Amino acid sequence: MVASASFRSVAEMYLHRIASTPDSDAFTYDDGSGWRSMTWQEAGAQSREIAGGLLACGIRPGDRCAILSGTRVEWILVDMAILSAGAVMTALVPSTPPEECAWILADSGSRVVFTEHAEHTERVTGDRTRIPAVDLIVQVEPGGHASHELDGATADRVARGGFRPTDPPPVVTLAALRDRGQQWLDAHPGAWNRRAAAVGPEDLATLLYTSGTTGRPKGVELTHDAWVFEGEAIDALGIMTPADRQLLFLPLAHSFTHAMEIAAIRVGLHSVVDGRVDLLPSTMQQTRPSFMAGVPRTFEKLHNAIVERAHRAGPVGTRLFRRALAVGLEVSRRRQRGEPIPRRLRLAHQLAERTVFAPIRGRLGGRLRFLISGGAPLAPELAEFFDALGIRVLEGYGLTEAAAASLVNRPDRCRFGTVGLPLPGVEVRLAPTDGEILLRSRGVMRGYHGLPEDTAAVLDPDGWLHTGDIGELDADGFLRITDRKKDLIKTSTGKTVAPQRLEARLRAVSPLIGRALVHGDGRNFVSAILTLDPEQARGWAAAHDCAHLDHAALCRLPEIHAEIQAAIDRVASSLPPHERIRRFAIVDREPTVDDGELTGTLKLRRRAVEERYRQLLDSFYEGTISRL
């Protein structure tokens, strides 16, 4: 149980980690010429210089500093510099459109923006009048118009806010800010430590903006104590140790990944930081993580890659894989039910382990103890698949409004199809009226930035956060998420359908399915709009002598439709009639952030997609209702 805070702030926790294990590896990253490691002491030295640069530029406690960058080691160093300087970190994912970038920077009042490269800088500087508070842009990579020097006069001018509204803010490299920071700290000994020590538990640490699936994103205010609590609660689980090595590849702007960053500092474990998702399997093989956090789509792609490799082994290899998988699944299910493993099955499993499962794990680094899944529902079929291979997937649950993780399965207490048990210090209950999940802990947000009415709508006087998710608690306290309250479908027959769980199952059963949107609110049956996964579609085309067809033609191909129909039928076989998809269409156009159909975190804006395909959806139901 996590009773009280061990540290006053994230800054204090970070400095304690540096002092406690200075020579232990903190981060591994690819510097362009190969993998490099950085100790906690080296990380602290860089964060100190960056923080010094911020202090030299007049950053005061509570000032906002934003990060617009992909996942890389500098992201973490800058984050810790901002927090230890007493400032507030605001994060933007790289896919955030320019208009939304400008809105978030203006709403947060960010004074300094850290960008990854010149392209991101151009996105921020497009219209100076829309980001009036920004006084300085710091670019991690050299290039564009970024200056390699930050002189004292410019730093003083930034500190005074001495720029006209029409003046573009100066752009300097991260190296230039570090140089200025070191010079300033040399002239002000002990200033960084004093600033870090002054940060308190109730001071604001982060202002993270939600996805905004139904409108403008909201700024979630999380204090230092909220993040300290998150680190403490994860540590108290006892599933991570300083001997572990995690792979951080998801956007660090997501609260989920930020929680894993905080956990690494608290526990003192080693993090491989590399956001190149397309290289994930090779990165895993090279860096050999012992655990990794991802979203369901991550594990869907790993599943697809494993299955494809088995198919490429030819008929004999495919049969061997299928037999081994069947054995692994049977062992997994028996263990889930607490049943003994018969001797014959145990011997077959030992053979499958030597010939199939161990080599697969070896290609993923060979050290994986578990995977952590969050951010969206994980299909039970995926969890069972990896468990059959000897890799347990621990599904968890949380919201940005509660500093990410609130519940998670444990390696020794895991129930597929649930999001596990509460973290130590987290209280969970269900609203008696509709089963809405309510959370309470030190990790719950202070509120939505500048939105008192929206805050009051989700945060009651007793400190319970109303999540907007519907769930069920079993007799042992495991939580099963039904769906988002606002996304639940109620058909014209009065039956309720949870679309996200159904969409996850479709993607798990058929690698060909990329995006899935289940529709049917107010309708007399359920239908779906689907896209094909481009990579899987190309592979299918090559294997079926259709490589000459483009993506649009593949989407119309009867053979593809037959495969998708077979997958839908497999899912339907275990569903009640009202949840079965009766009509579907495959569209050849992927939703994007720019067209407003995806959020900045790449979640579907359901209403926008439904509106785009309104005519197509309506056609599914023509003639199903008699008209006068």
Average pLDDT over residues 130-150: 90
Average pLDDT over residues 92-105: 86
E strands, 331-446, are 370-373, 392-399, 404-408, 421-422, 427-430, 436-440
**Domain CATH for 409:** 3.40.50.12780
What is the reported pLDDT for 626?
A: 31
What is the SS3 assignment for 388-401? HCCCEEEEEEEEHH
What are the backbone dihedrals phi and psi of residue 298, each rounded to the nearest 5 degrees, phi first?
-55, -50
* pLDDT exceeds cutoff 60 at 35: yes
Number of Cβ atoms within 10 Å of the Cβ of 353: 18
What is the reported pLDDT for 336?
A: 93
- Per-residue pLDDT tens for 422-462? 999 999 999 998 899 999 999 999 999 999 999 999 999 99
- Of all residues in the chain, what percent carry a pLDDT higher than 90? 74
User: Are 500 and 469 found together in one domain?
Assistant: no
* pLDDT exceeds cutoff 80 at 176: yes
**Domain CATH for 497:** 3.30.300.30
Query: pTM value?
Result: 0.84
Q: Which amino acid is located at 89 in the chain?
A: M
- Per-residue pLDDT tens for 262-309? 999 999 999 999 999 999 999 999 999 999 999 888 898 899 889 989
User: Are 439 and 313 found together in one domain?
Assistant: yes
User: Are 162 and 121 found together in one domain?
Assistant: yes
* pLDDT exceeds cutoff 90 at 549: yes
The reply to whether 7 falls in a domain is: no
* pLDDT exceeds cutoff 80 at 628: no
More confident residue, 575 or 467: 467
User: Are 538 and 423 found together in one domain?
Assistant: no
The reply to whether 65 falls in a domain is: yes
The reply to whether 8 falls in a domain is: no
From 155, 170, 199, the end of a domain falls on 199
User: Are 289 and 408 found together in one domain?
Assistant: yes
User: What is the tally of structural domains in the chain?
Assistant: 3
Question: Read out DSSP for 466-479?
Answer: EEEEEEEE-TTS-E
The reply to whether 358 falls in a domain is: yes
Average pLDDT over residues 236-240: 96
What is the reported pLDDT for 559?
A: 94
Domain span at residue 77?
Answer: 40-199
User: Are 563 and 472 found together in one domain?
Assistant: no
- Per-residue pLDDT tens for 509-524? 899 999 999 998 878 8
The reply to whether 608 falls in a domain is: yes
From 451, 484, 517, the end of a domain falls on 484
The reply to whether 209 falls in a domain is: no
Q: How far apart are CA 544 and CA 137, in angstroms?
A: 51
The reply to whether 77 falls in a domain is: yes
Q: Average per-residue pLDDT in the chain? A: 92
Q: How far apart are CA 192 and CA 182, in angstroms?
A: 11
Which tokens is 322 given? 């299928």
Average pLDDT over residues 328-357: 96
Gap between the terminal Cα atoms of the chain: 65
The reply to whether 208 falls in a domain is: no
**Domain CATH for 58:** 3.40.50.980
Average pLDDT over residues 534-540: 91
From 432, 452, 484, the end of a domain falls on 484
Residue 575: alpha-carbon gap to chain centroid:
29
* pLDDT exceeds cutoff 80 at 354: yes
* pLDDT exceeds cutoff 50 at 627: no
Spell out the residues 6+ positions from residue 116 whose beta carbon is closer than 8 angstroms to its own.
68, 69, 70, 72, 94, 139, 140, 141
User: Are 514 and 478 found together in one domain?
Assistant: no
